[in-house]
Amino acid sequence: MVLRTLAAILGVVLIADTAASLPALRNLGEGGQAASGIRGRLDIRKLDKPIERRPDVATAGAAGPRDVPDLRRGVVYLETAPRSAFDERDPGHVVMDQRNERFVPHVLAVMIGTVVDFPNSDLTYHNVFSLSRAKRFDLGRYAAGKSKSVRMDRTGVVRVFCDIHSHMNAFILVFNHPFFDVTDVEGHFELPSLPAGTYTVVGWYEGEARITRSVVVPANGWAEVDLVVP
């Protein structure tokens, strides 16, 4: 009986200690190191107007321009990255779909070497191309259910279009480091796992860098910053 009582008391103490330590555990990164980085919000006050879809009697009633949440997404990244950012990494695969005569997502941010798949999820033909310095390509026309791919092998901004549907356009930002983030629909972003130091953060939106800010990252914890684009 005494042993059972002692075990129960110890169990309560252990649970209490664990609960008390949860906030600290949440702030730990890989290897038990305290998490640090930059997080905040890219606040776009004036949204760019979408390119209107041209009339097409063959597809009456199809979806119109992109919705407002999609228009609020931007990219936040470091102007220069710490040395550790250039360690060899697997860039992997990402997808930019073609759906309802739109590129989805409208904005992608990837590391150099990433392969971007362009599946055609519409019932019509598409022809994806770019004339950008960072990557020139023309995938030719391909039908519904087909997919073609492009490897992004230079840094920069890649403007993507469809040769058949002039209202379709998108952006792919290619970086040589991993410290970037596409914001959510509310503008929130996180750049985690940064060593302590001073960095220049860039807020990008619809084709250009709109704002830069110097941010100091502490040794332990997050630097909070709001980037307001009037």
DSSP, res 17 = H
Supply the pLDDT for residue 50: 58
pLDDT at 59: 45
The pLDDT, as a whole number, for residue 86 is: 65
Question: What is residue 46's predicted lDDT score, i.e. its pLDDT?
Answer: 81
**Model pLDDT, residue 45:** 86
Q: Say how many C-beta atoms besides its own lie within 10 A of residue 228's C-beta.
A: 14
Split the chain (230 residues) into runs of 10 and give each run's mean pLDDT: 42 37 38 74 81 46 49 91 73 93 95 97 96 97 97 97 94 95 96 94 94 95 94
Read out DSSP for 133-179? SS-EEEEEEE-TT-EEEEE--S-EEEEEEESS-TT-EEEEEEESSS-
Whole-model pTM: value is 0.78
The CA–CA distances, whole Å, from 58 to 37, 45, 168, 181 equal 50, 37, 17, 38
* Domain boundaries 34-229, corresponding CATH code: 2.60.40.420
User: What DSSP character marks residue 122?
Assistant: S
CB burial of residue 172 (10 Å; 0-12, 13-18, 19+): buried
Q: For the chain, give percent helix, strand, coil, nearest 5.
A: 15, 45, 40
pLDDT at 51 (0 to 100):
55
Collapse the DSSP code of 57 into the 3-class scheme (helix H, G, I; strand E, B; otherwise coil) and give the result. Answer: helix
